[in-house]
Amino acid sequence: MRPIQTYQIPEVYARPGALSELSKLIKRFNAQRVLIVTDTGIVQSGILDVTVKALKGSHFELLIESGIQSEPSTSLVDALFARVQDFNPDVVIALGGGSPMDVAKLLAVMIRQGGDAVSYLFPDAVKTKGVPVIAIPTTAGTGSEVTPISVLTDDNDGIKKAVVARELIPEIALLDAHLSLRLPAHVTAYSGMDALTHAIEAFTSTRAHAFSDSFAREAVRLIIGNLRDAVHSGMQEESRHLMLLGSFYAGIAFTNAGVAAVHALAYPLGGLYDVPHGLANSLLLPYVMAFNKPACAAKYHELARVAGITNGQDNSSGAEVLIRFVKNLSREIGVPEGLHKLKIPGVALPGMAQSAAGIKRLMNNNPRPVSAADAEQIYRHAYGSALATT
């Protein structure tokens, strides 16, 4: 009998214009001091200005930290904690993509519990609920607004690692498509493929169950049905809204079923070569799916039917339709074709494969066992060109 464990779902406000609810939501926590954690891209896009304007007249004492980098490190979190601990916020607003949200979630715990970021990378390190977090995703991708996970690069070894604790789940998720209208096409593409990866991996995970499957199916349907429009017709409010919902549902799915080999293989790319997480997942997804097909063809076929891209075929043929569709979708929305485009040296693949294969927290969820040799072969298929030797 497969054990089932579920996590709470944050209270969610999802509609275009939902940002207008922000001041009222903060007041529910009797907050006087509010910390906004975001990044320079959000500042440059004007999204931060819009968010601050939504708080105008609310008389909160406001502190803004906008220096969050892509693929944040433990030292970045420590430096941020040193700057904000005396401010002692009553509420933390996580504004942006996965990096600001992951940092804000851990920071909220550190404000209550203390310590340094590295100490939280060990099992059961989180002992208490942090300051309330209101997560406002501006990308439809990471699902961090609903997950108990904060991913950081460990400065001690350069490897991406995860803090996992139910205390990290935000209290509120606010999904406003008006904010995502400001995103550039490549960010929409990479983050959308990230969300699709979450849904597919959750659906085929060894830990999947009926609850997670229901969210994964709907996430795949929404993402496949709306990602092209969100990328190519970026000012369409409806497709942006449905992508935010698809990402949210995918986040619920993988929170409860886990992700697997795609994410394990993506970690070395991000930790060692600063490849954005969504881009790494985009490049690897169809090749991991092809590897996994012998173990989960029926599930791939089911997703193809749910997404409306096939019907009536046998499982193997239906699975092939989905794999080809995912590869073509990546190409159509501008994902680079092959790891070689990212200047990853070919000689690095065996070491990355060893590292990825050792991430058992993720690999154990994969429907087919992945050895270091298997991982290297997947990397080689994803390389997409004659392998470099330097």
Quickly state the pLDDT bin for 348 (edges 50, 70, 90): very high
Which pLDDT score is estimated for 57? 84
Which pLDDT score is estimated for 389? 46
Q: 58: which 2 tokens?
A: 């609310």
Q: Is the pLDDT of residue 216 over 50?
A: yes
- What confidence tens digit (pLDDT) does each residue in 138-164 have? 999 999 999 999 999 899 888 888 899
Tell me the domain boundaries of the chain.
11-179, 184-383
- Look at the domain 11-179 and name its fold: Rossmann fold (3.40.50)
Which pLDDT score is estimated for 332? 96
Query: What are 36's strand-pairing partners?
Result: 64, 93
Looking only at the bridges linking them, the beta strands covering 172-175 and 133-137 are: parallel
Q: What is the mean pLDDT of residues 239-266?
A: 97
Instruction: Classify 194 as helix, strand or coil.
Output: helix
Q: Is the pLDDT of residue 386 over 70?
A: no
Beta carbons of 186 and 168 less than 8 angstroms apart: no
Q: Is the pLDDT of residue 233 over 90?
A: no
Per-residue CA distances from 60 to 23, 101, 227 (Å) = 9, 21, 37
The half-sphere exposure of 325 on its side-chain side, counting CA atoms within 13 A, is 22
CATH architecture of 184-383: Up-down Bundle (1.20)
CA-nearest of 136, 77, 131 to 101 is: 136
Instruction: Give me the percent of the chain exceeding a pLDDT of 70.
Output: 98
Which pLDDT score is estimated for 1? 60
Q: 46: which 2 tokens?
A: 């004007």
- Entry pTM: 0.94
Q: Is the pLDDT of residue 390 over 60?
A: no
Per the document, the length of the chain is 390
